[in-house]
Amino acid sequence: MKKIVLSVERGDQGELWGTVNYDDNLLVDNAPTIADLENQMRQLLMDFHDLQPEKVLFNVEFLVSGLFEDKKFLNASEVAKKAKINPSLMRQYVSGNKNPSLERAKQIENAIHEIGKELQTVRIIPKSIKEIAEKKSATSPKRMVKL
């Protein structure tokens, strides 16, 4: 398996642009999704370098603009808050008008990883607490459940 870096950023029309630098050859393409972009890059690697698509694994790197375009569920203001960055500056990074320094990019990356760790602790229950309490009080009339 060949691991290759795929760098992704947001285009002017909201599309994703990707670049792969392989064997001193810069491959560039765009697509609406990461999956489509990966498939197109695999095709380019096969066309120009005879790499079999099934033997290519991408390590995807994002410019901030590309990350927020691909991961639309991320809230830029909340990420900015967690990274201790001015929300207005974060919006400029997201729009692609500015690019963060290496140190600032690391702050944003760390904040997103922290959010990921928080999300991993989330547990979803199938019923509301009110439903559970109502069921308990219906089966145990002697117990009072305050809602």
Share of the chain above pLDDT 70, in %: 90
**Rg for the chain (alpha carbons), in Å?**
23
For the whole model, what pTM was predicted?
A: 0.75
Per-residue confidence (pLDDT) for residue 94, from 0 to 100:
93
Under 8 Å between Cβ of 4 and 56? yes
pLDDT band at 139 (very low <50, low <70, confident <90, very high): low
- DSSP code for 141: T
Q: Which residues of 22-47 are buried (b: 16+ CB within 10 A; e: fewer)?
A: beeeebebebeebeebbeebbebbee
What mean pLDDT do residues 20-37 have?
Answer: 95
What mean pLDDT do residues 14-34 have?
Answer: 94
Pairing of strands 25-31, 16-22: antiparallel
Per-residue confidence (pLDDT) for residue 14, from 0 to 100:
84
What mean pLDDT do residues 40-54 have?
Answer: 95
pLDDT band at 124 (very low <50, low <70, confident <90, very high): confident
103 pLDDT more than 90: yes
Q: Element (H or E) spanning 105, and its range?
A: helix 102-120
